[in-house]
Amino acid sequence: MHLASGAPLEPIAGDDTGGTYFLCGATAVLHASSEGDAVLLADSVGEALEILVRLPWWCENISAELDEEDLLAEVRAADHAAREEFAPELDAQRAALISGLGLPDRPLAELLAMSQSAAGRTEPDHVLLNSRELCAYRLEESFRQPLRDVVLGPGREVLERMRRGGLGAREEAAGDPVLRAGVLRAAQYDRRDGDLPLLRLLLEHESAARTERFEERRLAAVLVALHGREGDVSLLRSATGGQVTDSAEAVEWARAEEAKRYGRDVAAESEFTWIELARRQGRIERARVALIRMLDDTGPDADRLRELSRALERIGDYAQAARAQFNLLSLQDTAWDRASEAYVLARLERRRGDLVAAGRALERARAAVGAGGTTPGGADCQWHRRGLGRLITEQHLELTLAAAEAGDAELARATMGHGRLLLDTVGKESAKALSRLSTRAKWAVAGLRPPGA
């Protein structure tokens, strides 16, 4: 097991049901059950012991809705049952622990609040993974904050300040494209009649920025166009590339766009929207956890697996991206598609540091297209003269360099051998484009010790 965040993890205790207590980052305590659930128990070993001694697992009916008197009554009732069933010396043992460990005499309501606060902070930094399958341990929904609420928080706050005429709010949104994206999303799901001047300002800045990102510019244009003001036609014409030419057309265009992708139901929005916004906001661990849990829940859905693989690669989690890509590769029906997805898998395995797995993926790519003497299973006979040939060849050269750097001479030489054959097979333009990379790979192999030396 390991934490998705990469923080240190040390098992320090077990329980009689097969569960384990872990120390995370040398301070916090995480509990993992034998049934596949994991939750942050406390911020320190001392607090964890206090919770376990004074709010033990058999007290099942306690909740934050109860006051101190009701909590005490529930614990007494549960303790009574425990004494009769399995713990006749419970009172003496608990008193000895409290005294011997020097545990404070906190109100139970405060202790319960500490426990639930810790549980609510399990994500994103304390998510436990099975190191072999890379699947995440489960966490109760009540302890998970929806990603959309996390990433929309800053935008909602600034939008409210803009509506109240707060000093600096407009300048903040105007000067920060990521914050502006959050404000626009907040305005999309919380529409007010008096928002047009604010929306117009946001659209002006999106249009002036002219970055490669057009999603927010289109959203801002939709929100402005829905008001149907003739004075906005010129701005809308520029923002939409001439799609809008008058106010009536603006409303019709905006309603069509709204029906396709910019509706008012926040729950209907794709989770990938919030993941991308989280990535842009620098909330990489939040994005990572959301993607891992989505991957855990994804079956044989090629489109979803492909999107997950690419999104995980963008945040730099090559191991999880390779997991998604491996499942995606298994769903491909044609030789061309198998080769296309296999070279991507090779790239991800190489980037995660599993060079042998990268070599296996390239072997599958070669087999799919019939390179190296194999018979292509229906592959396009012109694969080597198209982009696919260049991409597969490039991955062979990159893996050769990585293997040579890692000191794996056998893998480096074998991969370079396949790379040479591919360079002779692909089109001249592709070979020329890869000439510098192939030269580096050849020199790297030449610098390896001879076999048996």
Using the 8-state DSSP alphabet, how is residue 384 labeled?
G
Confidence (pLDDT) at 211: 63
pLDDT bin (cut points 50, 70, 90) of residue 379 is: very low
Percent of the chain with pLDDT over 70: 96
pLDDT digits (tens, 9 = 90+) for 166-192: 889 999 998 999 999 999 999 999 999
Compute the average pLDDT of residues 61-89: 91
pLDDT digits (tens, 9 = 90+) for 315-354: 999 999 999 999 999 999 999 999 999 999 999 999 999 9
pLDDT bin (cut points 50, 70, 90) of residue 381 is: low
pLDDT digits (tens, 9 = 90+) for 206-237: 988 866 668 899 999 999 999 999 999 999 99
Using the 8-state DSSP alphabet, how is residue 266 labeled?
G
N-term to C-term CA, the chain: 39
pLDDT digits (tens, 9 = 90+) for 282-318: 999 999 999 999 999 999 999 999 999 999 999 999 9
**Residues in the chain, how many?**
453
Asked if pLDDT for residue 99 goes beyond 50, the answer is: yes
- All structural domains of the chain with their residue ranges: 2-139, 147-268, 332-446
CB 14 within 8 A of CB 52: no
CB 23 within 8 A of CB 12: yes
Compute the average pLDDT of residues 412-433: 93
Rounded to two decimals, the pTM is 0.91
Fold of 332-446: 1.25.40
Q: Is the pLDDT higher at 65 or at 306?
A: 306
User: Per-residue DSSP letters for 298-348?
Assistant: --S-HHHHHHHHHHHHHTT-HHHHHHHHHHHHTT--SHHHHHHHHHHHHHH
The tokens describing 305, both together, are: 């697996």
